[in-house]
Chains A and B, each alone.
Chain A
Amino acid sequence: MPVRRSPIVAAAIPVVAALLLAGCATGAAGTSPRSDAASPASSGFPLTIDNCGTEVTFESAPERVVTIKSSTLELMLALGLEDRVVGTAFSDGPVPDEFEGAASGLEVLSDKVPSQEVVLAAEPDLVFAGWESNLTAEGAGDRDTLAKLGVATYVAPAACKGEGYMPNPLAFDEVFREFEEAGAVFGVPDAAAALVAEQRAALDAIEPSDAGLTALWYSSGEDLPYVGAGIGAPQMIMDAAGLDNVASDVEDTWTSMGWEAIVAADPDVIVLVDAPWNTAAAKIAHLEQNPATAALPAVQQQRYVIVDFPSTEAGVRNVDAVASVVDQLASLGY
Chain B
Amino acid sequence: MSIGGRVAPGDTTSAGRGAPPEATRLETPARPGLRTGLWAGGLTLLLAASVIVAVTVGPAGLSPADVWASVLAHLGIGEPTLTPLRDGIVWELRMPRVLTAAAVGAGLALCGAVMQALTRNPLADPYLLGLSSGASVGAVIVIVLGVGLLLPVAAFVGALVALAATLGLASAAAGRLTPTRTVLAGLAVTSVFGAITSLVIFWSATGDSYREILNWLLGSLAGTDWTSVAIAGGAVVLIGVPLVASARTLDAFAFGDTAAAALGVHVGRSRVLLLTGTALLTGALVSVSGAIGFVGLILPHAVRLLVGSRHRALLPLSVLAGAIFLVWADTGARTLFDPRELPVGILTALIGGPVFAVLLLRGRRLS
A112-B205, A277-B209, A295-B84 known; A263-B334 Cβ under 8 A: no
Q: Does B27 count as interface, using CB distance less than 8 angstroms?
A: no
A222-B223, A264-B59 known; A257-B340 Cβ under 8 A: yes
Q: Which residue of B lies closest to A296 (CB)?
A: B85
Q: Does A223 count as interface, using CB distance less than 8 angstroms?
A: yes
Within 8 A of A (CB), among B88-123: 88-89, 91-94
A263-B209 in contact (CB<8A): no
Which of B58, B94, B215, B225 contacts A221, CB < 8 Å? B215
B95 to chain A, nearest CB (A): 10
Q: Does A26 count as interface, using CB distance less than 8 angstroms?
A: no
B218 to chain A, nearest CB (A): 10
Within 8 A of B (CB), among A293-313: 295-297, 309
B208-A263 in contact (CB<8A): no
Taking residues whose C-beta sits less than 8 angstroms from the other chain, chain B's interface range is 20 to 34
Within 8 A of B (CB), among A101-156: 112-113
A268 to chain B, nearest CB (A): 13
A264-B59, A290-B92 known; A219-B208 Cβ under 8 A: yes
A247-B339 in contact (CB<8A): yes
Q: Does B222 count as interface, using CB distance less than 8 angstroms?
A: yes
Q: Does A1 count as interface, using CB distance less than 8 angstroms?
A: no
Q: Does B341 count as interface, using CB distance less than 8 angstroms?
A: yes
Which of A219, A257, A260 contacts B93, CB < 8 Å? A260
Within 8 A of B (CB), among A224-253: 224, 226, 247, 249-250
Q: Does B212 count as interface, using CB distance less than 8 angstroms?
A: yes
* Residues on A with beta carbons closer than 8 Å to the beta carbon of B222: 223-224, 258-259
Which of A219, A257, A295 contacts B85, CB < 8 Å? A295
A30 to chain B, nearest CB (A): 41
* Residues on B with beta carbons closer than 8 Å to the beta carbon of A309: 207
* Residues on B with beta carbons closer than 8 Å to the beta carbon of A112: 205-206
Q: Does A9 count as interface, using CB distance less than 8 angstroms?
A: no
B338-A261 in contact (CB<8A): yes
B146-A260 in contact (CB<8A): no
* A95 and B92 alpha carbons, distance in the complex (Å): 41
Q: Does B25 count as interface, using CB distance less than 8 angstroms?
A: no
Q: Does A255 count as interface, using CB distance less than 8 angstroms?
A: yes
Q: Does B61 count as interface, using CB distance less than 8 angstroms?
A: yes
Q: Does B35 count as interface, using CB distance less than 8 angstroms?
A: no
Q: Does A286 count as interface, using CB distance less than 8 angstroms?
A: yes
A250 to chain B, nearest CB (A): 7
* A220 and B222 alpha carbons, distance in the complex (Å): 14
* Residues on A with beta carbons closer than 8 Å to the beta carbon of B206: 112, 275-277
A266-B207 in contact (CB<8A): no
B341-A224 in contact (CB<8A): yes
A255-B340, A263-B85, A286-B148 known; A275-B207 Cβ under 8 A: yes
* Residues on A with beta carbons closer than 8 Å to the beta carbon of B225: 290-291
Q: Does A256 count as interface, using CB distance less than 8 angstroms?
A: yes
Which of A113, A223, A255, A257 contacts B215, CB < 8 Å? A223
* A92 and B207 alpha carbons, distance in the complex (Å): 7
A269 to chain B, nearest CB (A): 16
Q: Does B220 count as interface, using CB distance less than 8 angstroms?
A: yes
* Residues on A with beta carbons closer than 8 Å to the beta carbon of B339: 247, 249-250, 255, 257-258, 261-262, 265
* A264 and B85 alpha carbons, distance in the complex (Å): 8
* Residues on B with beta carbons closer than 8 Å to the beta carbon of A291: 88, 92, 225
Within 8 A of B (CB), among A177-223: 219-223
Q: Does B362 count as interface, using CB distance less than 8 angstroms?
A: no
* A314 and B98 alpha carbons, distance in the complex (Å): 39
* A262 and B86 alpha carbons, distance in the complex (Å): 11
Q: Does A60 count as interface, using CB distance less than 8 angstroms?
A: no
Q: Does B60 count as interface, using CB distance less than 8 angstroms?
A: yes
Which of A221, A224, A292 contacts B89, CB < 8 Å? A292
Q: Which residue of B lies closest to A297 (CB)?
A: B85
Q: Does A282 count as interface, using CB distance less than 8 angstroms?
A: yes
A291-B92, A295-B85, A296-B85 known; A258-B212 Cβ under 8 A: no
Annotate B213-249 by CB proximity to A: 1 below 8 A, 0 otherwise.
Answer: 0011000101111000000000000000000000000
Within 8 A of B (CB), among A155-179: none
* Residues on B with beta carbons closer than 8 Å to the beta carbon of A250: 339-340
A223-B60 in contact (CB<8A): no
* Residues on B with beta carbons closer than 8 Å to the beta carbon of A278: 146, 207-209
* Residues on B with beta carbons closer than 8 Å to the beta carbon of A220: 207-209, 211-212
Q: Which residue of A lies closest to B151 (CB)?
A: A222
* A255 and B88 alpha carbons, distance in the complex (Å): 23
Q: Which residue of A lies closest to B290 (CB)?
A: A223
A81 to chain B, nearest CB (A): 25
B108 to chain A, nearest CB (A): 18
A223-B223 in contact (CB<8A): yes
Q: Which residue of A lies closest to B62 (CB)?
A: A264
* Residues on B with beta carbons closer than 8 Å to the beta carbon of A224: 215, 220, 222-223, 341
* Residues on B with beta carbons closer than 8 Å to the beta carbon of A223: 212, 215-216, 220, 222-224
Most buried by B among A112, A222, A265: A222
A295-B205 in contact (CB<8A): no
A58 to chain B, nearest CB (A): 31
Q: Which residue of B lies closest to A221 (CB)?
A: B212
* Residues on A with beta carbons closer than 8 Å to the beta carbon of B215: 221, 223-224, 256
Which of A254, A258, A275, A292 contacts B334, CB < 8 Å? A258
Annotate B328-354 by CB proximity to A: 1 below 8 A, 0 otherwise.
Answer: 000000100011110000000000000
Most buried by B among A112, A275, A292, A295: A292
Q: Which residue of A lies closest to B60 (CB)?
A: A264
A53 to chain B, nearest CB (A): 25
Interchain Cβ contacts under 8 Å between A and B, 6 examples: A220-B212, A223-B215, A255-B340, A262-B339, A264-B61, A292-B91
New A-B contacts (7) at CB < 8 Å, excluding given A221-B208, A226-B208: A223-B222, A224-B215, A224-B222, A256-B215, A258-B59, A286-B148, A292-B92
A: which residues have CB within 8 A of B? 92, 112-113, 219-224, 226, 247, 249-250, 254-266, 275-278, 282, 286, 290-292, 295-297, 309
5 nearest A-B pairs in the assembled complex, by CB-CB distance? A223-B223, A264-B60, A261-B339, A292-B92, A292-B88
